[in-house]
A and B are shown apart, each in its own frame.
Chain A
Amino acid sequence: MILQAVEVERTTEPNVRQTVLKLEHVTKKFGGLVAVSDFNVDLKEGELLGLIGPNGAGKTTIFNLITHVIPVTEGKIEFYGKDITKLSTDRIIKLGIARTFQNIRLFSNMSVKENIMTAFHVHLKSDLFTAVAFLPKYREEEEFIQQKTWELMKEVGIEHLADHKSSSLPYGLQRKLEIARALATSPKLLLLDEPAAGMNPDETLELNQLILRIRERYKLTVIVIEHDMKVIMNISERIIVLDHGVTIAEGTPSEIQQNPLVIKAYLGVGDEDA
């Protein structure tokens, strides 16, 4: 079933929860540049992790490594205990990881609806012949996709724009469409890369509520990247701070706010990021 949520025994005790994602000593070098250096994380089911740090800290690179858009230089990545370090991107997505992009990557020649429908392809069961012959099995699947697409559009509030070209949407709605599209692959882990970038405070607030809502509804584990830390202070349980590829702090939002290293890293970048 598409969009089937993982049934999880949620207990209040975090360390009893299952590990969803585990990165061990992950390092990425681009030539001489060490973009990510010895990064470690152990993410529990249902957790919402904030990944923050100034521009160029290596946050997006970590997402690219998790979904194997680029290979790791060193280290190991596990998803529900399975080593996915060397799996191809599409296989990783099939296992249940979905992501959005910092610089929105929608299919610009397609409508809003089609963008989401495309994402259901990963779990399509009909083979090409069944689809081309439009046999009952495919017809059922297509109907199911239509209906779920509609639900997802409603979820993020863009159902009135279903037939509009995705590139014609305002920025904030494009980001929401990208989230809906990611959800369509029925992920267990959702990676959001600066979802609030370019949004005003009101929109950001609304987005945060959306993130919390979908986490509940679809039983998601979430990592949110932000370079403005104020944005996710309210929603994340745990925050990791990166600077120049190095993990400089990890803890609860209030711990992070008082950490002198973090303050220094942010001050070093200048005011425009604050």
Chain B
Amino acid sequence: MGWSLFMQHLVNAISLGFVFGLVAVGYALVYGVVKLVNFAHGDVFMMAAYFMFYASVLFGFPWLAAVIFGVVMTALLGVGIEKVAYRPLRKYPRINSLVSSIGMSFLLQNFAVVVFGGIQRSFPVPEMMRKTIILGEVRIQAVSIYTIVFSILMVLLLTFILQKTKIGLAMRILSTDFDTARLMGINVDNTISFTFALGSALAAVSAVFYALRYPQIFPFMGQYPGSRAFIAAVVGGIGSIKGALIGGFLLGMLTVLLPAAFPEYSGYREALIFALLVIVLVFKPNGLFGQEAGEKA
């Protein structure tokens, strides 16, 4: 592989890594606060793409307005899902909520097939995102650069919310101890709702960049990036924001660079990535970058 080709792949990998990373943060936020592996997160991502598609194509919103509309709707959807599907199960064993999230994922996909149709639709891509930037021998898609820049902005915004705002503080306390949080007068329900809103909004933002890169949207489009991001979150140490981002990067690299380096084995990529997931869970269950948890019993 030549240097210029490598650079192209690298930029590609980084931007894809950010997409995975932002979705992974959604898993991490929710896991951190309610200890739920939200299997429906990838499908919330899919719904975001459709919200934007309909706002733009059907209702003729300007592109940016459509995106903002999509982000808001997705955040509301996330809150709604939590209210309907997870909140009533909070007092039951965790596995109930896990099954519920699997059911929710199923429901969203089938809802999309029936309501939006099973066929692929073209996501609107603005002119400026279609450009290819040429630096000497290196050709980079403009959308990759936009992805990286906006993702960094999102991460900064997220850090600000978590570190500097009251609701962010509430989230952090809730993630360490439910009972303490209640004692301290934190409104648990609102904080959890906000967590879902935030995670879903991040999924919506990454859906924009994902759809700009692969502009065909369809009801099952959330599965692939969803499972990638999910693996990223687990490998990075589920519950940890930093881990999710690093995991996203790792997955972006593996996804792009592995087949580029070993094209003859590209078919085994899936098996390899899932094997990574299993190995990390078995031998380092707190993730490669997560902190040690307490001992059993």
> Using a CB-CB cutoff of 8 Å, which residues 27-80 of chain A contact chain B?
30, 64, 69-70
Residues of chain A with a CB closer than 8 A to B295's CB: 30, 70
Indicate whether B296 reaches chain A with its CB closer than 8 angstroms.
yes
Question: CB-CB < 8 A to A30: which residues of B?
Answer: 294-295
Closest chain B residue to A70 by CB distance? B295
Asked if B135 is an interface residue, CB under 8 A from chain A, the answer is: no
Indicate if B128 sits at the interface (CB-CB under 8 A).
Answer: no
- B297 cross-chain contacts in A, Cβ below 8 A: 64, 69-70
**How far apart sit A70 and B294, CA to CA, in the bound complex (Å)?**
11
Residue of A nearest to B297 (CB): A69
Q: Which B residues are in CB contact (< 8 Å) with A70? A: 295-297
Interface 1/0 per residue, B279-297 and A, CB below 8 Å: 0000000000000001111
Q: Write out the residue numbers on chain A whose beta carbons fall within 8 Å of the beta carbon of B296.
A: 69-70
Number of residues from B at the complex interface, CB < 8 A: 4
Cα distance A62–B296 in the bound complex, in angstroms? 15
Least distance between B286 CB and chain A CB atoms (Å): 15
The residues of B that contact A64 with a CB separation of less than 8 Å are: 297
A185 to nearest B CB, angstroms? Answer: 19
Q: Which residue of B lies closest to A89 (CB)?
A: B297
CA distance A30 to B296 in the complex (A): 12
Q: How far is the CA of A74 from the CA of B191 in the complex (A)?
A: 43
A48 to B197, CA, bound (A): 59
For window 203-228 of A, CB contacts with B under 8 Å fall at none
Distance from B207 Cβ to chain A, minimum over Cβ atoms (Å): 41
With a CB–CB cut-off of 8 A, which chain B residues contact A69?
A: 296-297
Chain A nearest CB, measured from B50 CB (Å):
43
Q: How far is the CA of A69 from the CA of B295 in the complex (A)?
A: 10
Tell me the A189-203 residues at the B interface (CB within 8 Å). Answer: none
Complex Cα distance A64/B295, Å?
A: 12
| Least Cβ–Cβ distance between A220 and chain B, in angstroms | 24
A152 to B260, CA, bound (A): 69
- Nearest chain B residue, comparing its CB with the CB of A61: B297
Give Cα A69–Cα B297 distance, bound, in whole angstroms: 7
- Shortest B295–chain A CB gap in Å is 6
**Docked pose: A30 CA to B297 CA in angstroms:** 12
> What is the minimal beta-carbon distance from B91 to any residue of chain A, in angstroms?
15
Report the Cα distance A12→B253, complex, angstroms.
75
Residue of A nearest to B295 (CB): A70
Q: B residues 255-284 with Cβ under 8 Å of A?
A: none
Interface residues of B in 117-171 (CB under 8 A from A): none
CA distance A234 to B108 in the complex (A): 66
Q: With A and B bound together, what is the CA distance between A70 and B295 in angstroms?
A: 8
The smallest beta-carbon distance between A99 and chain B, in angstroms, is 12
- Whole-angstrom distance from the CB of B189 to the nearest CB of chain A? 28
Complex Cα gap A30–B294 (Å): 8
Query: B95: shortest Cβ distance to chain A, in Å?
Result: 15
| A267 CB, min distance to chain B CBs, angstroms | 28
Question: Chain B 69-80, CB within 8 Å of chain A: the 1/0 string?
Answer: 000000000000
C-alpha spacing A88/B297, complex, angstroms: 15
Question: Once bound together, how far apart are the Cα atoms of A30 and B293, in whole Å?
Answer: 11
CA distance A64 to B296 in the complex (A): 11
Complex: A70 Cα to B297 Cα, angstroms: 8
Closest chain-B Cβ to A69's Cβ sits at a distance in Å of 5
For B294, give the chain A residue with the smallest CB separation.
Answer: A30
> Min CB distance, A264 to chain B, in Å?
31
With CB as the reference atom, state the residue of chain B lying closest to A71: B295
Q: A31's closest neighbor in chain B, by CB? A: B294
Report chain A residues within 8 Å CB of B294.
30
Closest to A60 in B: B297
- State how many angstroms separate the Cβ of B293 from the closest Cβ of chain A: 11
Residue of A with least CB distance to B292: A31
Chain A residues numbered 120-168 whose CB sits less than 8 Å from any CB in chain B? none
Q: How far is the CA of A64 from the CA of B294 in the complex (A)?
A: 15
CB distance from B179 to the nearest CB of A (A): 16
Inter-chain CA distance A69–B296, complex, in Å, is 8
Given contacts A30-B295, A69-B297, 6 further A-B contacts (CB under 8 A): A30-B294, A64-B297, A69-B296, A70-B295, A70-B296, A70-B297
| A–B pairs, 8, beta carbons within 8 Å | A30-B294, A30-B295, A64-B297, A69-B296, A69-B297, A70-B295, A70-B296, A70-B297
Closest 7 CB pairs of A and B: A69-B297, A70-B295, A70-B297, A64-B297, A70-B296, A30-B295, A69-B296
